[in-house]
């Protein structure tokens, strides 16, 4: 042994030199950024700038256009702010509920809150209407509770319905990561609940609160489907206006101008976020298993109230889907006034029949397999790209602070414009099925990074140092210190990526449709033609999508890795 080292002394120093260069902080940083930056450059910045350069010209600078931009922008702001506040009103108590208390049906309820995130808006709207609308099964609801809500309040509640899961996941994770000793010692020093929250909990939660607020606000700011569906012709956000100016009343220069405005505002929000978050450097030792059954009457009342409101708000609209997919009301239609309801499994059976011998028929198992396949690829891709970026951003150098806000831009880019950019950049190769997970990853990546980043930043450096002083290898440090803290954030990030992909959030506007149709596409095909069977099959497919997501989320959350403790 000794001999060998002596004999190969020269190569050894060379290797050491090489290793040192490899381990130099700069080289390491570049390595971290390489994949995410290459990805964003080729699939986001390049196509988007191509189309903006092509479409933009100064002819868009007219007074009428500026007025349009101003009024659209102010409405976009107004509804996004209101929606975000309302989402937090429901989201924060729910986050506390899930992170602090144990109760029956907890994991199912938490999984359910993530389901709306990926259901097609039109499906939820019509199934809900079929149940509680004027002629619905529970029509007494519509007369006594929901008295003709205005379309604006419908938009707001839809945003809350879709985005509460973001708050629950990001803030809830942070809450369960907090060291309970801090709160306990404050209490033993005589602080009441309010003071504990104000002085201890809230300051510690700030990074996650901000991250959640930013994501929810961005989603409401660029809201598209909800506004189009519920707003009629009266309301339009920047995203909707861009869509109209690209596809319906073609005016590409105006569309480009609108896109630039939207991008600039996205950038401003992200920069504000980065600024604020960098002022917060609190790190705490992580503890696990904070959740316990409610004890005092006050706690029980709290759990009961939040549980009930979540149940009504999420469970009832969602359960209307499976009920509707098993309900027949066809036979008596067109004969008597009162609708007769009956049980049927016809819609599910019909899913397996290609009645018209259509070329575009998709067997349900196939659609589910395609959806799951794309979703798994998206989870893999977005974690592989998001992890290194979040790691670098957790303790950013000056240059990286500049890169940080750019990560959020894909959320603020109009899907229609980016879609056009894809077409002029990739041409015929766009039909490749690989573009589907790529487009989904583009939407999921900002989530993944923003979910991992606060968790990574919260890992106390002294724990790592202590571990390595005690002789742990870098991998062992990662395994024993970083990983247990990260596994929860990673699961959350994976769930986001998974639901984003299953619901095809906005990506439908990006892509052409190659040979592997997914569940949302199958639903869309059924809903594009009249007939009870089509409607029933759409509901059945949507129910499948819902079951699949709920199951997948439950499984992801059950993947409790050793050391990660109670999730």
Partner 1 sequence: MKRITFYFLLFTLFLASCTPTPVAPQTITIMTHDSFAIGEDVIKTFEADNNAKVVFLQSGDAGAVINQAILTKDAPLADVLFGVDNTFLSRALNADIFETYPSPMLADIADEFKIDSSNRALPVDYGDVCINYDKNYFTENNLPVPLTFEDLAKPEYKDLLVVENPATSSPGLAFLLATRAHFGDGYLDYWKSLKANGAVVVDGWETAYYTNFSASSGKGAQTMVVSYASSPAAEVFFAAEPLTESPTASIVASDMCFRQIEFVGILKNGKNRDLAQKFVDFMLSQKFQEDMPLNMFVYPVNKNAKLPDVFVKFAQVAESPAALSYSEIASNRDSWIEDWTQAMK
Interacting residues toward partner 1 by CB under 8 A: 122, 125-126, 129-130, 133-136, 228-229, 231-234, 244, 246-250, 328-331, 333-337, 339, 344, 346-347, 354, 356-361, 419-420, 423-424, 427-428, 430-431, 508-509, 511-513, 524-525, 527-536
Choose between 280 and 329: whose C-beta lies nearer to partner 1: 329
Least distance to partner 1, CB of residue 57, Å: 16
Note the maximum CA span of the chain.
Answer: 99
Q: Are strands 342-343 and 327-328 parallel, antiparallel or unpaired?
A: antiparallel
In the numeric block, the tokens 């996004």 are attached to: 80
Least distance to partner 1, CB of residue 538, Å: 8
Choose between 199 and 344: whose C-beta lies nearer to partner 1: 344
Least distance to partner 1, CB of residue 515, Å: 8
| Alpha carbon distance 537, 541 (integer Å) | 6
The phi and psi torsions of 2 (rounded to 5 degrees) equal -50, -45
Q: Which of 504, 549, 441, 544 is nearest to 110 (CA)?
A: 549
Choose between 497 and 510: whose C-beta lies nearer to partner 1: 510
CA 14, 17, 18: angle at the middle one, nearest 5? 85
Choose between 168 and 511: whose C-beta lies nearer to partner 1: 511
Least distance to partner 1, CB of residue 92, Å: 32
Least distance to partner 1, CB of residue 553, Å: 27
Choose between 200 and 246: whose C-beta lies nearer to partner 1: 246
Choose between 382 and 508: whose C-beta lies nearer to partner 1: 508
Choose between 123 and 168: whose C-beta lies nearer to partner 1: 123
CB 166 within 8 A of CB 84: no
Q: Which of 374, 532, 530, 506 is nearest to 446 (CA)?
A: 506
Burial 529-567 (b: 16+ CB within 10 A, else e): eeeeebbbbbbbbbbbbbebbbebbeebbeeeeeebbeb
Least distance to partner 1, CB of residue 374, Å: 17
187: Cβ contacts below 8 Å, ≥ 6 apart: 196
| Alpha carbon distance 287, 100 (integer Å) | 12
Taking CA atoms, 246 is separated from 48, 61, 231, 387, 417, in Å, by 14, 17, 19, 35, 8
Burial class from Cβ neighbours inside 10 Å (0-12, 13-18, 19+) for residue 130 reads: buried
CA 26, 28, 30: angle at the middle one, nearest 5? 70
Least distance to partner 1, CB of residue 311, Å: 24
Choose between 336 and 398: whose C-beta lies nearer to partner 1: 336
Q: Angle at which helices 519-527 and 532-558 pack, to 10 degrees?
A: 160
Least distance to partner 1, CB of residue 134, Å: 5
Choose between 310 and 527: whose C-beta lies nearer to partner 1: 527
Choose between 68 and 85: whose C-beta lies nearer to partner 1: 68
Least distance to partner 1, CB of residue 198, Å: 45
Tell me the sheet residues that pair with 301.
none
Least distance to partner 1, CB of residue 414, Å: 13
Dig out the tokens for 324 from the structure.
Answer: 């509707």
């Amino acid at each position: 042994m000794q001999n060998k080292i002596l004999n190969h002394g020269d190569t050894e120093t060379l290797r050491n030199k090489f290793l040192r260069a490899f381990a130099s902080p700069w080289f390491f940083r570049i390595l971290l950024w390489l994949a995410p930056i290459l990805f964003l450059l080729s699939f986001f910045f390049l196509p988007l700038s191509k189309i903006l350069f092509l479409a933009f010209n100064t002819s868009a600078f007219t007074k009428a256009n500026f007025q349009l931009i101003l009024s659209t922008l102010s409405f976009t702001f107004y509804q996004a702010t209101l929606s975000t506040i309302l989402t937090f009103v429901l989201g924060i108590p729910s986050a506390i509920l899930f992170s602090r208390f144990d109760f029956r049906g907890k994991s199912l309820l938490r999984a359910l809150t993530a389901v709306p995130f990926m259901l097609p808006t039109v499906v939820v709207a019509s199934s809900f209407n079929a149940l509680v609308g004027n002629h619905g099964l529970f029509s007494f609801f519509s007369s006594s509770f929901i008295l003709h809500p205005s379309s604006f309040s419908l938009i707001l509640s839809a945003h809350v319905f879709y985005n509460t899961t973001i708050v629950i996941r990001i803030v809830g994770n942070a809450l369960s990561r907090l060291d309970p000793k801090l709160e306990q010692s404050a209490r033993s020093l005589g602080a009441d609940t309010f003071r504990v929250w104000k002085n201890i909990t809230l300051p510690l939660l700030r990074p996650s609160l901000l991250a959640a607020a930013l994501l929810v606000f961005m989603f409401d700011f660029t809201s598209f489907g909800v506004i189009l569906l519920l707003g009629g012709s009266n309301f339009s956000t920047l995203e909707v206006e861009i869509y109209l100016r690209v596809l319906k009343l073609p005016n590409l220069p105006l569309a480009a101008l609108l896109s630039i405005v939207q991008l600039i505002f996205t950038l401003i929000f992200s920069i504000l976020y980065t600024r604020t978050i960098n002022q917060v450097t609190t790190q705490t030792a992580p503890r696990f298993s904070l959740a316990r059954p409610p004890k005092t009457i006050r706690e029980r009342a709290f759990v009961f109230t939040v549980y009930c409101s979540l149940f009504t708000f999420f469970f009832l609209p969602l359960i209307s889907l499976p009920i509707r997919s098993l309900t027949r009301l066809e036979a008596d239609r067109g004969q008597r006034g009162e609708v007769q309801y009956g049980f049927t499994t016809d819609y599910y059976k019909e899913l397996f029949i290609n009645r018209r011998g259509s070329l575009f028929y998709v067997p349900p198992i196939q659609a589910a397999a395609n959806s799951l396949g794309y979703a798994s690829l998206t989870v893999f891709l977005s974690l592989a790209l998001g992890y290194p970026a979040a790691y670098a951003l957790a303790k950013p150098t000056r240059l990286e602070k500049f890169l940080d806000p750019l990560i959020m831009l894909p959320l603020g880019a109009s899907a229609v414009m980016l879609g056009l950019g894809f077409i002029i950049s990739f041409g015929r190769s766009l039909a490749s099925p690989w573009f589907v997970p790529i487009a989904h990853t583009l939407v999921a990546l900002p989530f993944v990074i923003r979910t991992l980043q606060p968790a990574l930043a919260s890992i106390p450096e002294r724990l790592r140092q202590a571990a390595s002083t005690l002789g742990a290898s870098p991998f062992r440090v990662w395994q024993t210190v970083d990983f247990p803290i990260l596994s929860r954030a990673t699961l959350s990030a994976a769930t986001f990526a998974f639901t984003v992909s299953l619901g095809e959030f906005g990506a439908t506007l990006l892509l052409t449709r190659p040979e592997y149709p997914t569940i949302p596409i199958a639903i869309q095909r059924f809903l594009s033609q009249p007939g009870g069977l089509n409607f029933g099959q759409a509901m059945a497919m949507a129910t499948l999508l819902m079951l699949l997501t709920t199951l997948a989320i439950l499984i992801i959350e059950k993947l409790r890795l050793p050391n990660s403790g109670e999730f």
